[in-house]
A and B are shown apart, each in its own frame.
Chain A
């Protein structure tokens, strides 16, 4: 037998012998003074029973018993629905020693009852009814706060800590703003300079192109001139001409020496 089985069996046994639990009876009796609590507890118990029956019905194999069980469920539901208005009237009544919170809670519980009753599956299409229940219940609900509604003066009182915190927050925020302003100014200057640089470069582009073409032209001219110069120089100072020059010089010197000799004599 597993743990879960044990637990379920224990639960079932406890439920069976609850009526012998003196403590619990006493607690129940305390709320027994309250008509609403009694009525609500009764209806609650009946809803639980009906749900159990519905489960049985869904598990039933034979159709006849299912139909019978469903019919009984429907009768129970109708009876319960009739008792709900009575309970509602009781819920609105103010009881001594009951807080406003509890009163509102009771109202809610009563309003939720019809939905729960309808929700008990009885073979009919019960699911469609559910959304319809939103409207009326929403108009009576209020937003609930955790603090149980104790919004007295002390709650909003400024404490020392919160003041300090707020001040610190303000100073830091101011300092950040200052820093951001300085950054923004710097960025503005940068943007301006960048724009000016952009325009200046745009201005320089056609000039650079002109320089490029002019330099190309000059370079080609220079190459031409160099080639021609080389031609001329080689022509002028080719080794053949050089030799001819030397030979002729020697011949002239020879003739001069011969003449000199002849004349000396």
Chain B
């Protein structure tokens, strides 16, 4: 089921691209003046899903600016479409330009100390499965030790180790890695970010 869904998505993606390359960018710069910048649109609209682990990461993927416009106007899989009464053409163009240039957010916007408190509380069971350097008991041995998370290449052996991906994985592990044994323990987005921030403080023992 999942596999088919993904292929489906890719096909749509390609279709959207080829369609777009024939259309010139937004022709008339209509603006109702509601949006001040592409970034504002991103933060207030797109970010709801694309910064919260619901939708995938769209920053830093360097699509052509119009590509973003196509997704916005037509929607994509679970993503709804947005009309020009919601995001006007000029704001859409600004959004595309903003996203085409935006770097991946690599900074961790969680609070490591709060993250550690959540881990140490034991309520989410992290240490029942993982050995965690700052926790004496329990030292779980079901999943991998978490020492060195800061420099590890892959999360769960299969996902790129980036802050946004890690936070999304912590929130709902089986959604990103269907075969994992790690359950969804009901973290909020903020909690997941805090724990991710804590995990990025765990350097490998012999330095990087």
A interacts with B: no
